[in-house]
Amino acid sequence: MTNPRRVLILGALSAIATATARLLAAEGARFVLVARDAEALETLAADLRARGATSAATVAADLAVASPEALLPALLEPLGGAIDAAYLAYGVLGDLGLAERDLTVAAQVIDTNYRSAALWCLAVAAVLERQRAGSLVVIGSVAGDRGRKSNYLYGSTKAGLGVLVQGLAHRLAKVGARAVLVKPGFVDTPMTEHVAGRRGPLWATPEQVAPALVKAASGGGTVVYTPWFWRPIMAIIRAVPGPIFHRTNL
Ligand SMILES: NC(=O)c1ccc[n+]([C@@H]2O[C@H](COP(=O)([O-])OP(=O)(O)OC[C@H]3O[C@@H](n4cnc5c(N)ncnc54)[C@H](OP(=O)(O)O)[C@@H]3O)[C@@H](O)[C@H]2O)c1
């Protein structure tokens, strides 16, 4: 039997991360699960053990505030100091209308989705580089592919994170480690529960996108769209000339 995969999940209570963790649990993975709600984390850990996880340790932390340098060594301890796959899943959509009027709201979106996420990515990448193995899988978004008036602040944080991950993939390639950006389209999760029409044909469930996140840690390209049809859709959206795009209500 191969050794169980050592998996760190930053933002383990996200619906997409939880669906991914369930698939990894069935393969016998060892987990360190990080999120803000200690009680919900314990429930998730018990669920993953019941589904076949070899172990599941939990750490309650606000990832936008915690220092990756200070916390990461403690997170790696239950995994014997090494990571096979690290997932960065936490994020906030934010209220754009509010953020346009109150820059402290804008700052919270930027701090959570870009500033802190970038620092966690850099800290994890240093571990993978030292190990000369392992994968960092970061959840970006198709929203980062083109700025549009309905969600450009959120989109800009995901775009920035995408370029960071692209650079990390380039840096890690020479030592045999990986960084991958996974870009989901519309996914029916608590983050999008306020969105009308979220059962439409372009919408996916967390369970439908989770296999792409599992696969991303093992190989393949360094930018993954999930479901796959978002790659051609976003290629078209990026290609629409500005004057035409500005007449749309996207
Ligand atoms: N749903 C979509 O349509 C969609 C599309 C593209 C990309 N994404 C991305 O997918 C990722 C997962 O989101 P989801 O759709 O699964 O939504 P979700 O279930 O609402 O998950 C978001 C998670 O982020 C956590 N979080 C936010 N700020 C945090 C912080 N400072 N410290 C620790 N945890 C924090 C939330 O925890 P709390 O419960 O403590 O707030 C929540 O568990 C996000 O990065 C999101 O941007 C989602």
Q: Which of 96, 191, 195, 231 to mutate to test the pocket of ligand 1 (most atoms within 8 A of CB)?
A: 191
Q: Is the pLDDT of residue 203 over 80?
A: yes
What whole-number distance in Å separates Cα of residue 230 and Cα of residue 142? 7
**For residue 50, what pLDDT is reported?**
98
pLDDT for res 250: 86
The residue-averaged pLDDT of 153-168 equals 98
What distance in angstroms lies between residue 89's CA and the mean position of ligand 1's atoms? 6
Which residues surround ligand 1 with Cβ inside 6 Å?
11, 13-16, 35-37, 62-64, 89-92, 112, 139, 141, 184, 186-187, 189-192
Distance 7 CA to ligand 1 centre (A): 18
Q: Which domains are delineated in the chain?
A: 6-245 (3.40.50.720)
Question: Residue 4: what pLDDT?
Answer: 85
Tens digit of each residue's pLDDT (9 = 90 or more) over 70-104: 999 999 999 999 999 999 999 999 999 999 999 99
Looking from the CA of residue 63, the nearest atom of ligand 1 is 32
DSSP letters spanning 70-132: HHHHHHHGGGTT--SEEEE-------HHHHHH-HHHHHHHHIIIIIIHHHHHHHHHHHHHHHT
Q: Please tell me the distance from the alpha carbon of residue 178 to that of residue 169, in angstroms, as a whole number.
A: 6
Q: pTM to 2 decimals? A: 0.97
Return the number of other C-beta atoms located less than 10 Å from residue 49's C-beta: 14
Q: Report d(CA 176, CA 156) in Å as an integer.
A: 29
Question: Would you name the residues annotated as active-site residues?
Answer: 154
The 10s digit of each residue's pLDDT in 106-155 is 999 999 999 999 999 999 999 999 999 999 999 999 999 999 999 999 99
Torsion of CA 179, 159, 115, 63, to 10 degrees: -60
Measured in angstroms, how far is the CA atom of residue 11 from the centroid of ligand 1? 7
Which one-letter DSSP state was computed for residue 5? P
Residue 197: the pLDDT is 81
pLDDT exceeds cutoff 70 at 1: no
Contacts of 130 (CB under 8 A, 6+ apart): none
Positive or negative CA dihedral for 110, 112, 113, 116? positive
